[in-house]
Amino acid sequence: MRRKGLASMAVQTVASTSPTDSPTDSPAGSSGSAEPSLGAAVALSCRECGTRTALGPHFVCLECFGPLEVAYELPAGDPAGLRERIEAGPASMWRYAPLLPVPADVAAKPNLNPGFTPLVQADRLAAELGVTGGLYVKDDSGNPTHSFKDRPVAIALEAARAFGLTTLSCSSTGNLAGAVGAAASRAGLRSCVFIPDGLEQSKVVMAAVYGGDLVAIDGTYDDVNRFCSELIGDPLGEGWGFTNVNLRPFYAEGSKTLAYEICEQLGWRLPDQIVIPVASGCQLVKIDKGLRELIALGLVEEKPYRIFAAQAEGCAPVSRAFKDGSDVRPVKRPDTIAKSLAIGDPADGPYVIDICKRTGGAVDDVDDAQIVDSIRLLARTEGVFAETAGGVTLGVTRKLIASGALDPALSTVVLNTGDGLKTLDAVAPTARPSAVIAPSLAAFRDAGLA
Amino acid sequence: MRRKGLASMAVQTVASTSPTDSPTDSPAGSSGSAEPSLGAAVALSCRECGTRTALGPHFVCLECFGPLEVAYELPAGDPAGLRERIEAGPASMWRYAPLLPVPADVAAKPNLNPGFTPLVQADRLAAELGVTGGLYVKDDSGNPTHSFKDRPVAIALEAARAFGLTTLSCSSTGNLAGAVGAAASRAGLRSCVFIPDGLEQSKVVMAAVYGGDLVAIDGTYDDVNRFCSELIGDPLGEGWGFTNVNLRPFYAEGSKTLAYEICEQLGWRLPDQIVIPVASGCQLVKIDKGLRELIALGLVEEKPYRIFAAQAEGCAPVSRAFKDGSDVRPVKRPDTIAKSLAIGDPADGPYVIDICKRTGGAVDDVDDAQIVDSIRLLARTEGVFAETAGGVTLGVTRKLIASGALDPALSTVVLNTGDGLKTLDAVAPTARPSAVIAPSLAAFRDAGLA
């Protein structure tokens, strides 16, 4: 079902004469409607063979078993008008509603309104790394549940509503579980989420606190994922929307908004280089798709950009395949502190390699010590406390600069996809008080910190 | 130094003929300049006797020992133009720069750009509580370090830069320490922060991870605070800006932005009722000040509003004084899971009581069990995971509705000032997996969760 060539682009554009004359302005479909209205989305389309099927909770092409993606009629023909319309929108990912599979009134529905997170101009970090072309950290810890997962979940939620699904579910390494639990609570849906047993305490608490069901599975993330696929085919799972399984085509589109925001925040310009962490690889694939959509719609000027992928050494199937020139071979027992990246059998791994090769980027990995060191470097220079996945991305960025693969004279965006508060253990041994003293000037003087 | 009457309002307005013709458009002062330019701020003014003194790192009136506040020449005379100018500003608290003691170009300087956090329309929570007049949660966990403290710190940082101070410091119950550490790192200042020993692990890690010095003091928060006041008077503390001591007049203004945002997000309307947690009381006093400024400037229509204050039973000096009609008597050994509210000797306690009485509000408190229950209620109904302080505020809201003090037919805003990830222990015993199972449909069926 996966091929090595450049994936065809499931984007259709349609000319419109004015900013208000676009498909997304049609009335929103009601929950459970036979013909759900999901904005500019018109069908599902196979990424491999291009076969189209109607919008619905489906994720595999019945012709070739390739992955399904959302196909659009996007509002082309008036880029200036579209830019203006976006800029006048809400300070959330819904400013890009015309480019997403969501009803036009999405911002008015109860949801977490994620996105439009800060793009931090990281001058102090740039100085330490010798980056002269401009260095930016896209800090997605600013989302409601403090990871980028709020983006795809917000779109999956709209799909669930449109298809009349009543339970929101997922397999998760932690961040997604919290995002699904919170989104379901806001929307008034039931949630039941699945995680591998033994995750970080903060992620377990965050997955459970929203009051839905949380089921820990005795196994790896890949075991959890396989179990969820089974559940979908079983009557037990009827009426369930698994954000990252049967709602995956919709869910996956959420990551496009990272590309949109980065470019808008750079003044509607493409960055030269982007470094993206890879778990399933879905985020990287969709950021690339988002960039190409912006070019196709004329929202940014076309120019070359390079995409780099970052993995943790303890679970680096894509990085190894890229370096060896081999197929992506699953990692059976991931062993890394970057648990949110510990997906041993990444569904989009081959596509990640395609994209990095096509754009002139690369894939690399770093070990646990480098992850922790990079978390601390980012915190010390920019006041951003990243999750271990953010440490992976910055660590790989440093490695790629050192190797010459990443050009420090070009503008570079590094993604921080999650929050350090969720992976406290990584830095807890070293992030401690400099001193414990009595409340007196003498004691403070003796501590030698003045 | 404290009096019981209505505090006089240190607000001056000056007519301006156009939105661009205001004092904040003057060039920003350079660091260490003899005449620092802090936007519309023109002086420090004693809240008690009104004596004015030049802008500087001072916090006590030399005439009467009353607290100093920032006095402004605010851009009056064109409310429609000012509203428009604000709405066209950045999606951060800097959209209100014309009303703050900051240089006009503040958003362009390296800082955390906090604020403009979500005002959640809490319909599901309202239904549970029987609130019919509209219920909103102002969710300040969306700030960069996930508490409202990023707001006052961002303003204190500008003051520190203007006065040429080189070390940013504070006494903190945890949230402030993280906010100061992060802000100093972003700005490239040294930081040295002081906390009572024994805080939540996540707050300790977050205070230390930004690489500044973190000093744990063997004592309560009030001991830490007294120590910091000593340090300011000592040569050891020269060149230090203590955000909540010698920079307090500036720092405190940060909380005004909560009032601005709430009203703008309600469509430039005052809410009928606001429930605010009380630690030092500073936040509540400044939210009231912010509301009165909006009225004075014509940005909102004047109407009555009620302010309610929330404390934890284990540290409720203001609540007790309000109920007894007595003076605020310090609590020697605070004992509550709401550690961020555990200030036994609240500097602004008497002012809090004044304001609640003046506006027809009230002060109340809840115990630890009620705090936890309210954290869970908010998470379950709205997908917002609040810190213990947020549990206090919602818990008191419920109590005030039950007692009839808070009118459920009026519009009500409840503040969540921090993030549940920082006070995990409060909910960890109950926020756990519903089941741990093998990865099989049979095991899932047996768990009875389908």
Name B363's Cβ contacts closer than 8 Å, sequence gap at least 6: B278, B308, B309, B310, B311, B318, B319, B322, B323, B352, B353, B356
Name chain A contacts of B146, Cβ cutoff 8 Å. 146, 419, 421
Say if B214 is an interface residue toward chain A (CB within 8 Å). yes
Of the CA atoms within 13 Å of residue B405, those in its CB half-sphere come to 22
Say if B124 is an interface residue toward chain A (CB within 8 Å). yes
Do residues B180 and B170 lie in contact, with contact meaning Cβ atoms separated by under 8 Å? yes
Q: Measured between alpha carbons, how far is residue B38 from residues B42, B97, B104 in Å?
A: 8, 10, 8
Q: Rounded CA gap, B229 and A327, in Å?
A: 64
E strand or H helix that includes residue B194: strand B190-196
Burial (CB count <10 Å: 0-12, 13-18, 19+), residue A305: buried
Q: What is the pLDDT along chain B (450 residues), one digit of tens a residue?
A: 343 333 333 444 443 333 333 333 333 333 444 566 899 999 999 999 999 999 999 999 999 999 999 999 998 889 999 999 999 999 999 999 999 999 999 999 999 999 999 999 999 999 999 999 999 999 999 999 999 999 999 999 999 999 999 999 999 988 999 999 999 999 999 999 999 998 888 889 999 999 999 999 999 988 999 999 999 989 999 999 999 999 999 999 999 999 999 999 999 999 999 999 999 999 999 999 999 999 999 999 999 999 999 999 999 999 999 999 999 999 999 999 999 999 999 999 999 999 999 999 999 999 999 999 999 999 999 999 999 999 999 999 999 999 999 999 999 999 999 999 999 999 999 999 999 999 999 999 999 887
DSSP strand pairing (B135-139 vs B119-121): antiparallel
Asked whether the beta carbons of residue B437 and residue A218 sit closer than 8 angstroms, the reply is yes
pLDDT of residue B35: 60
Distance in Å, alpha carbon of A139 to nearest chain B alpha carbon: 9
pLDDT digits (tens, 9 = 90+) for A239-261: 999 999 999 999 999 999 999 99
Q: Measured between alpha carbons, how far is residue B124 from residues A167, B267, B394 in Å?
A: 17, 21, 14
Give chain A's residues under pLDDT 70: 1-36
Asked whether the beta carbons of residue B382 and residue A211 sit closer than 8 angstroms, the reply is no
Q: Which of A180, A205, A213 to mutate to test the interface with B (most CBs of B within 10 A)?
A: A205
From chain A residues 29-58, the ones with a CB under 8 A of any chain B CB are: none
Structural domains of chain A ordered from first start: 13-108 (no CATH), 119-145+255-426 (3.40.50.1100), 150-251 (3.40.50.1100)
Say if B232 is an interface residue toward chain A (CB within 8 Å). no
Q: Side chain identity at A209, as an amino acid letter?
A: V
pLDDT digits (tens, 9 = 90+) for A143-178: 999 999 999 999 999 999 999 999 999 999 889 999
Distance in Å, alpha carbon of A75 to nearest chain B alpha carbon: 25
Name A283's Cβ contacts closer than 8 Å, sequence gap at least 6: A148, A255, A258, A276, A277, A417
What's the token pair of residue A367? 């070990």
Do residues A375 and A205 lie in contact, with contact meaning Cβ atoms separated by under 8 Å? no
Q: Rounded CA gap, A91 and A265, in Å?
A: 12
pLDDT of residue A200: 85
